[in-house]
């Protein structure tokens, strides 16, 4: 497994799509959530079924079977590749080329779950995930599927108003990205840290002045005012 968990896919439209792969921990948490949901559902259904005696017992076992094998398949196939647990963790299953998961793909990856479970606690699946390039377990490899993070919708960035100032050096693309990252993340940094960073750009100014100046330059690059 690489440290960088980004996967780049070139779509037929010639655009490059970036997926962020989900590692073992969020997937395990999603699985645990699903397990709890299934257990709860079964327990709730078991109580009325007990009234029907042995016939109810039979229905309960059919349900147990469906929950064990088809709960993930149906949810993933019909609900944008997400089981309730995956939805809660912000995960989704997609095909290796970024295409959405269908019934067949979901069935393959879930039928082969037993192999990943072997010998216990998903040890095989975990080891396979560590050595494959795209964090796939055996079922994912056979079905050509990936589990990715589906980020929540981001609110539009608030515009900062204020006067702007052209940079006094020829601005390269890297410089521009650094500047924009500075404005994007600035809100999450303390003022002192912002001043410290700005002082790297303008060592000749006082930290406070450097921060002001850098913000003005960034606004210019953004095209504000």
Partner 1 sequence: MRQSQFEQRYRPQWDRLETSLTALEARRRPKAAALTDFTADYQSLCHQLALARERGYSLALQEYLNDLMLRAHRQLYRYRTPLLPGLVAFFTGGFPRAVRHQWRWHLISTLCFVLSAGLVWAMILHDPELVHTVVGPQQVAELEEMYHPDLRDVAGRDRQDDVMMFGYYIYNNIGIAFRTFAGGLLLGVGALVAMLFNGSFFGAAAGHLTLAGAAQPFFTFVIAHGAPELTAIFLAGGAGLRMGWAVLAPGSWRRVDALRRAAAECLPVMYGVFALLVLAAFIEAFWSSRELAPQIKYGVGAACWALLALYLLFAGRQRQGQGGRHGSE
**Contacts with partner 1, residue ranges (CB under 8 A):** 11, 13-19, 53-55, 57-62, 64-65, 68-69, 80-81, 94, 98-100, 102, 104, 107-108, 111-115, 118, 124, 138, 141-144, 150-151, 153-154, 156-157, 159, 173-174, 176-177, 180-181, 183-184, 221-224
Quote the least distance from Cβ 25 to partner 1, whole Å: 22
Q: Which is nearer to partner 1, 185 or 193 (CB)?
A: 185
For partner 1, give the closer residue by CB, 83 or 150.
150
Q: How far is the CB of 159 from partner 1 (least distance, A)?
A: 7
| Helix 71-78 with 24-50: angle, nearest 10 deg | 120
Q: How far is the CB of 9 from partner 1 (least distance, A)?
A: 9
36/123 with CB nearer partner 1: 123
Closer residue to partner 1 (CB): 141 or 198: 141
User: CB 4 → partner 1: shortest distance, Å?
Assistant: 15
Query: Nearest approach, Cβ of 51 to partner 1 (angstroms)?
Result: 12
């Amino acid at each position: 497994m690489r440290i960088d968990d980004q996967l780049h896919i070139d779509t037929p439209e010639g655009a490059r799509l970036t997926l962020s792969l989900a590692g073992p921990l969020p997937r395990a948490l999603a699985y645990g959530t699903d397990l709890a949901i299934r257990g709860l559902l079964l327990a709730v259904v078991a109580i009325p079924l007990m009234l029907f005696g042995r016939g109810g017992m039979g229905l309960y076992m059919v349900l147990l079977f469906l929950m064990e094998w088809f709960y993930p398949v149906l949810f993933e196939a019909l609900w944008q590749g997400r089981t309730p647990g995956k939805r809660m963790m912000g995960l989704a299953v997609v095909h290796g080329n970024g295409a959405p998961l269908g019934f067949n793909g979901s069935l393959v990856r879930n039928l082969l779950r037993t192999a990943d479970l072997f010998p216990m606690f998903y040890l095989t699946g975990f080891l396979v995930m560590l050595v494959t390039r795209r964090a796939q377990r055996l079922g994912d490899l056979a079905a050509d599927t990936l589990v990715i993070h589906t980020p929540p919708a981001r609110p539009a960035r608030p515009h900062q108003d204020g006067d702007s100032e052209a940079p006094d050096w020829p601005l390269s693309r890297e410089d521009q990205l650094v500047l924009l990252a500075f404005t994007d993340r600035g809100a999450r940094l303390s003022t002192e840290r912002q001043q410290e960073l700005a002082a790297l750009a303008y060592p000749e100014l006082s930290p406070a002045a450097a921060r002001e100046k850098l913000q003005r330059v960034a606004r210019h690059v953004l095209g504000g005012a």
